[in-house]
Amino acid sequence: MVRYIEFNSKLKSILDEEEVRLNVKMKDCTSFKVGGPADIFVMPNTYEKVREVINVCKVNKVPYFILGKGSNLLVKDGGIRGVVINLSKLDEIKVEEDKVIAQSGAVLSKVTEAALETSLTGLEFANGIPGSVGGAVTMNAGAYNGEISQVIESALVVDNKGEIRRLSKEELELSYRMSAILKYEYVVLEATFKLLKGDYSTIKARMDDLMRRRREKQPLEYPSAGSTFKRPEGYFAGKLIEDSGLKGTRVGGAEVSVKHSGFIINKESASAKEILDLIKLVQATVKEKFNVELSTEVRIIGEEETE
């Protein structure tokens, strides 16, 4: 942390005092409820502050990581060196005619509620996805035959040159759990979703049905990062895992959910290492039995814990 003393003063010239924190435990900031400390944790509340923090990190060669709701993230037990830029203060949502404009830190469920309140249809699939707008655009989040690429019109980003600019849907290059945001290391500030006018009761019924199905089929009562693995072409990850006899398998406090084998859950005070070891066990077993490679959908970052 000594090397960050001077750098920290530079951050405080950009941000307010309460927007900069040190040694923040990432287990308190992620849905998996695991992870060591971040050296510096900042919470900018304007687009310009986000841009300035990113640029000062680059100039000073300090690594940084963008954090939304932490719902698709596994932070290792050693934590994160450098700066975590948390965008949760950027959470405004507004509706203009058939468009919903949401800042990157806005929770997806709040965006779907705003669409419902104005009888706009198209975002029902996102109801219940426990993430932020920025994360959803970055990963082209989807569920129940819907995904962000179907409804997004444009996104405001900080590009890899440190400039704020707007990208069209085509420029976002959205594909299965991939985007130009990931490819070029951009940062989402805001997204505009273009929807259709619909019937309030029909939209609400669809949202309620999807939420009911989530509760019935997914282990929402335990900490997790949602679907742990990407869907391999021609297969379903959960079925491969179940057919491998892995349902209920545990490593320490981490478990392959008995409710949905595609989820690895923090059943009982698991460490990140235990979750990672279980992920590797699942991957090796499925590879051995079916010759299928499972890639993680959850993002894994940080450093191993040192003794």
Cα-based angle 123, 129, 132 (whole degrees, multiple of 5): 90
CB 74 within 8 A of CB 270: no
Closest C-alpha among 87, 93, 175 to residue 138 = 175
| Cα distance between residue 134 and residue 30, in whole Å | 15
Residue 51 annotated to the active site: no
Residue 206 annotated to the active site: no
What is the identity of the amino acid at 24? V
Q: Which of 88, 224, 227, 257 is catalytic?
A: 227
Q: Which of 19, 147, 255, 297 is catalytic?
A: 297
| Cα distance between residue 99 and residue 118, in whole Å | 10
Q: Which of 71, 147, 177, 190 is catalytic?
A: 177
| Residue burial 157-188, b: 16+ Cβ < 10 Å; e: rest | bbbeeeeeeebebeebbbeebebbbeeeebbb
What is the identity of the amino acid at 156? L
| Cα distance between residue 213 and residue 127, in whole Å | 11
Q: 103: which strand partners?
A: 190
Residue 177 annotated to the active site: yes
Catalytic residues: 177, 227, 297
